[in-house]
Amino acid sequence: MKLFKSLLVAPATLGLLAPMSATANEVTINDFNPAEELAITNSRVDGLEARLNNIEAGSFSDTTSASFSVDATVGAIDGDTTSEATVVEYQFNIGLSTSFTGEDSLDIAIDSGSTAPSTADNPMAFDTGAGLSVDGVTYSFPVGGISMLVGVDTNIGAVFTGACSYSAFTDWMSNCGTDLSVGVAGAGVTAAGSYAFDSGFSLAAGVSGTADGANTAANKVGLFTKEGEDLYAIEAAYTADSWGLAVAYVYDDNASSAETTYWGVNGTYSFDLVDLSVGVETEETSGVDKTGYFFGATFPEVGPGSVSAGVATTTNFTDTATNYFIYELSYSYPVNDGLTVTPGVFIEEKAGADDLTGIIVKSSFSF
């Protein structure tokens, strides 16, 4: 009897539950608004993005950028007086740049390198010392049509145009053999400026004096003093589509030794298959004249890379002295946008000693 009653009640119960279930489903669907839910989600994403932007803004301003580079070498130098073993050396550079007006630039260079040169000649001239050190602070800004530069530990040659298309493998070939004139360094505090004419002609000049650096009197005298060392430099250059020529004059007012004047001329000409570069530099101290020479050729399209070959005097020599030369050959191959591998070989002639022969592979990273 109870089972019979249950069978009669079940259909009635289901009939009552059916409309209630439909109503519940209807309420759930009606309560869900896709547009409203999407708006809430977007609002939360925007809030998260704003927080990330605030973090980035606290790290760098919109006008500040950083660049990084690493040069690493592995190789050996036969005949080196320090070590003929295969060694690994590196140099790490950080460049920070910011602008305040859109036309100016405050630049800071920070370097680190191998603890000490493993070879006597240090052909790559890597900065030594594993600790980070400031390698220069400069501020560039326009004054009329003149591009001005002031800074500490800054080369006057940074504003020079130059006329050298050779990609040097060793430091000896830098600035096409005119490193003391066209590539003149700074003695400390530097002020320089350059002006480029529409015709391709340019003029640049600057002065540099001993900085307030080491704890000695000579390094605390500053600019334009009788006790200190001042460099005065001027360069005139002309650049055309396929060739260029630059002439530089430098006067070194060195209080601790004799005054020295330098003249440097370098030039370049581009053919279809090869770019040629030459350089001549003279220096005069107390009536003694010295001269140095450079010649280099770069073949920009050899397979996926480029070949560079150069020869230069190891320094500037007097007319009566025996000239010694350095020769180099390298192949530069860009593996990708951030890595270039350059194997090379050099031979350096030495006075009264065996020649040096170095085989080195250089890897350059930029990011």
In a domain, residue 105? The reply is no
pTM, 2 dp:
0.76
Q: Does residue 217 carry a pLDDT above 50?
A: no
What would the mean pLDDT of 93-101 be, rounded to a whole number? 94
User: What ranges in the chain are assigned the alpha helix state H?
Assistant: 2-31, 34-59
What would the mean pLDDT of 228-247 be, rounded to a whole number? 94
**pLDDT, greater one: 227 or 253:** 253
Q: What's the confidence (pLDDT) of residue 80?
A: 85
Whether the Cβ atoms of residue 220 and residue 209 lie closer than 8 Å to each other: no
Q: Which residues pair with 134 in a beta bridge?
A: 110
Tell me the C-alpha distance between 175 and 156, whole Å.
13
The mean predicted confidence, pLDDT, of the chain is: 83
Max CA pair span of the chain: 137
* DSSP annotation string for 104-149: -EEEEEEEEE-SS-SSSS-TT-PPP-SS-EEEEEEEEEEETTEEEE
Please give the backbone phi and psi of residue 278, each rounded to the nearest 5 degrees, phi first: -135, 160
Q: What's the confidence (pLDDT) of residue 307?
A: 97
Q: What's the confidence (pLDDT) of residue 280?
A: 98
Q: Does residue 16 carry a pLDDT above 80?
A: no
In a domain, residue 205? The reply is no
Residue 314 is classified by DSSP as S
Reported as a pLDDT band with limits 50, 70 and 90, residue 49 is: low
Q: What's the confidence (pLDDT) of residue 203?
A: 98
Q: pLDDT tens-digit profile of 116-159?
A: 766 767 788 887 688 888 888 999 999 999 999 999 888 899 99
Q: What's the confidence (pLDDT) of residue 63?
A: 84
Q: Does residue 11 carry a pLDDT above 50?
A: no
Give exposure, 216-229, as e/b (b: 16+ Cβ within 10 Å). Answer: eeebebebeeeebb
User: pLDDT exceeding 70 applies to what percent of the chain?
Assistant: 77
Q: pLDDT tens-digit profile of 23-47?
A: 444 444 455 566 666 666 666 666 6
In a domain, residue 26? The reply is yes
Reported as a pLDDT band with limits 50, 70 and 90, residue 52 is: low
Q: pLDDT tens-digit profile of 72-89?
A: 999 999 988 888 889 889
Residue 323 is classified by DSSP as P
Taking the alpha carbons at both ends of the chain, their separation in whole angstroms is 89
Hey, what are 290's tokens? 């010295």
In a domain, residue 110? The reply is no
Q: How many domains does the chain have?
A: 1
Q: pLDDT tens-digit profile of 147-205?
A: 999 998 888 999 999 999 999 999 889 899 999 999 998 767 899 999 999 999 999 99
In a domain, residue 35? The reply is yes
Tell me the C-alpha distance between 137 and 153, whole Å.
7
Nearest to 280 by CA among 263, 296, 297: 263
Tell me the C-alpha distance between 171 and 165, whole Å.
15
What is the extent of the structural domain holding 14?
A: 2-46
In a domain, residue 17? The reply is yes
In a domain, residue 197? The reply is no
Nearest to 93 by CA among 126, 117, 63, 122: 126
Q: Does residue 102 carry a pLDDT above 50?
A: yes
Q: pLDDT tens-digit profile of 260-314?
A: 999 999 999 999 999 999 999 999 999 999 999 999 999 999 999 999 999 999 9
| Residue 136 one-letter amino acid | G
Q: List CB contacts of 191: < 8 A, sequence separation 6 or more.
A: 148, 149, 150, 206, 207, 208
In a domain, residue 31? The reply is yes
Whether the Cβ atoms of residue 237 and residue 200 lie closer than 8 Å to each other: no
Residue count of the chain, please give it.
Answer: 367
